[in-house]
Amino acid sequence: MNIPGSCEEEDDHGEVFLDEDDILHEVQVDEEDLPDAVDEEGSDDEYVDEDDDSNHTFTGHTGEVYTVACSPIDATLVATGGGDDKGFMWKIGRGDFAQELSGHKDSVSSLAFSANGHLLASGSFDGVIQIWDTSSGNLKCTLEGPGGGIEWVRWHPRGHLVLAGSEDSTAWMWNADRGVYLNIFSGHGASVTCGDFTPDGKMICTGSDDATMRIWNPRSGENIHVVRGHPYHTQGLTSLALTSDSTLALTGSKDGSVHIVNIATGKVVNSLVSHSDSIECIGLAPSSPWAATGGMDHKLIIWDLRQSTPRSTCEHEDGVSCLTWIGTSRYLATGCVDGRVRIWDSLSGECVRTFTGHSDAIQSLSVSANHEYLVSVALDTTARIFEIAEYH
């Protein structure tokens, strides 16, 4: 790996040593007179000296940052988690405020605020979920059980029930108010990579690396449907989104396909075929029958779900790792492996803004409750805030 500023390039000259006596003449050079360095393609220095469009950079993390969540009620409150085994709660516009979410023994992989914003769940690859009181910053309880790392955490839309998927092929549900286990959902044959409650709270959908989706009864733990085989995915699921009326699930896979499943029947009702590499993210537009999918094929595709056809294909410089719609507006944001955050107009398919500042792949995006700020986190150890008031 090239380390900027290091001298690890191999050459055929062997090691060279200079003594004081070898110096013939010292020349003072004004740095302004030096030509700009032209980076070789593929060099790790390609981000150096780039403009930084962010309003603020949160630098509390000492490792890669994997996940970000903005409070649904407090437009300034943000939570981030990463590879330094830590989470933080911090506030936009309050550079002096940061509460560490300590106690995890492995990377913090997932964060989610409860629907009322009172609680925050932090899930880690240590297999543990911690529940935090957002007003005091205190640890409320610790939820244990899974035998593998936590892949994702979700809250029930109307209560303090927590759902999480694990690398050990199971999903778990707890009551966060009482800190007690309620149900385990067993049946997948590999890591449970995505999942959620339906928006009406009556069902649970989970997707797995075993290329199946399962639909569950939350109360009984009963597995109602298993979606697998032709015409469904041939490789592991990576992402899942559920329509607001709780009737359809959209799932994306490493195989580059997106399928639409009727939750009541467990049948594939349509397929969105246009990507040529792994799907990394799916987002449903809150105010129109459109979906957005991002993939490692460098594409964001905006779909009209009524016709199951692409409206726009939005090309990126590298893989699209995450996306989020900006409130109920026509705009959405993508995070890319090239370290850029882009704002897209879903009507025209045009990129209307590119935000720079990160120096490594974007991992997660979240929009503040007032839709005025977009927070991104990246492998460069930072979280950055970008102003997006004009796009909502």
pLDDT tens string 244-302? 999 999 999 999 999 999 999 999 999 999 999 999 999 999 989 999 999 999 999 99
Residue 25 pLDDT greater than 80, yes or no: no
pLDDT of res. 95 = 86
Task: Give the pLDDT band (50/70/90) at residue 38.
Answer: very low
pLDDT of res. 24 = 52
Share of the chain above pLDDT 70, in %: 87
pLDDT of res. 386 = 98
Q: Using alpha carbons, list the distances in angstroms from residue 59 to 70, 81, 188.
A: 17, 12, 38
pLDDT of res. 392 = 84
Residue 115 pLDDT greater than 90, yes or no: yes
Structure tokens at 378: 């990246």
pLDDT tens string 318-330? 999 999 999 999 9
Closest CA to 332 of 296, 361, 303, 308: 303
pLDDT tens string 188-229? 999 999 999 999 999 999 999 999 999 999 999 999 999 999
pTM, to two decimals:
0.87
Q: Using alpha carbons, list the distances in angstroms from residue 7 to 4, 15, 42, 68.
A: 9, 11, 17, 35
Residue 6 pLDDT greater than 50, yes or no: no
Contact 283, 241 (CB under 8 A): yes
d(CA 341, CA 374): 9
Residue 61 pLDDT greater than 80, yes or no: yes
pLDDT of res. 96 = 84
Per-residue pLDDT, averaged over 64-84, amounts to 98
Contact 332, 324 (CB under 8 A): yes
Residue 331 pLDDT greater than 90, yes or no: yes
